[in-house]
Amino acid sequence: MMKRLFLGIIALLLVLSLIPLTTTQAAPTARKGCTCKAYYRVKKGDYLSLIAARYGVSTKALQRCNHIKNRNRIYPGQRLCIPGTPPPSVPPKPPGYYPPPPQPGDGPATACTITPMLGFGAVWFHNPTVRAKLGCPTAPEQGFNAIEQAFYQGYVVNNQDTKQMYIMFSSLGQWTTYPDTWAPGDPVNNPTLVPPAGWYQPEYGIGKMWRNEDNYSQRLGWARYPQRPVTATWQPYEHGEMIWTATQGVFVLYDSGTYRQFK
């Protein structure tokens, strides 16, 4: 009985003697004079030389800054100081910050009195073909009150300020404009036209154009949703226009009657 108890006590002492080495050993603090560019938590299977190679430092520097005498004695969970200069902190962006558009250096923008900005600028600077075909802006970008409606084969945005609709035929890659002539007292829609389930008949100014202009209903198809307001901006160029809407991105409208869309 005594022998068994004695052996049990010895086994318990052996277990307790191993605990500080594997789980509770404190992580060494960095040696005075060492700057830590990062910290690393040792994982099972790590070697000091592998960690050093991963961070581009020498094994000796890791040993010196972390008070490690034996390079083969590191343990899972150990926190290591990676010596080096820490990266500079990046100040937070101020509220309402917008990054500047890509700059072409002393290239095409120097020939323009007005420089395209934000979304129009990104499209204009990133696409030499667009830039060459559109030319320079002739007025600053401006917002307008807009109503939009997407169709099976196209998209319409109605400028409520100028009463002019921009119609993009997706199947043809063509665009055109059409005046909004709807007035109170005009029919809102045609009650005899019943669209398929899930589709809509356009109404008001867009609907008047869709019902009365020759072949526009066939070229556009049924509407995907009822007309709705949308945030939009517009800018004229030497050889065309650009329109941006919050749902469709940027439309580049060339004087030739063709367009490109950038989402």
Examine the domain organization and report whether 239 and 143 are in the same domain.
yes
What pLDDT, on the 0 to 100 scale, is given for residue 104? Answer: 55
pLDDT of 9 reads 60
Looking at the DSSP bridge assignments, the partners of residue 79 are: 41
Q: Structural domain tally of the chain?
A: 2
Pick from 67, 86, 105: which residue ends a domain?
86
* Dist CA 139 CA 167 (whole Å): 22
Is 39 a domain residue?
A: yes
* Residue 104 forms part of a structural domain: no
Q: What does pTM read for this prediction?
A: 0.59
**pLDDT score recorded for residue 176:** 94
For the chain, the farthest-separated pair of C-alpha atoms sits apart, in whole angstroms, at: 109
Is residue 121 located within the same domain as residue 202? yes
> What is the distance between the alpha carbons of residues 155 and 41, in angstroms, rounded to a whole number?
55
106 assigned to some structural domain: no
Contacts 24+ apart (CB under 8 A), 139-145: 139/114, 139/235, 139/236, 140/114, 140/235, 141/116, 141/117, 141/233, 141/234, 141/235, 141/242, 142/233, 142/234, 142/235, 143/231, 143/232, 143/233, 143/234, 144/232, 144/233, 144/234, 145/229
Both 171 and 256 in one domain: the answer is yes
Q: Look at residues 240, 232, 234, 233 and name the one whose alpha carbon lies nearest to residue 130.
A: 240
Tokens describing residue 8? 């049990």
Rounded to whole angstroms, the Cα distance separating 243 from 171 reads 19
> Contact 201/190 with Cβ under 8 angstroms?
yes
What CATH number has the domain bearing residue 61? 3.10.350.10
Domain that holds residue 49: 26-86
Q: What is the mean pLDDT of each run of 10 residues along the chain (263 residues)?
A: 57 52 46 81 87 85 88 88 77 68 56 86 90 92 93 94 94 90 91 91 93 89 93 95 94 95 90
58 vs 35: CA distance, rounded Å: 14
Verify that 141 and 250 share a domain, yes or no.
yes
Residues 232, 154 within the same domain: yes
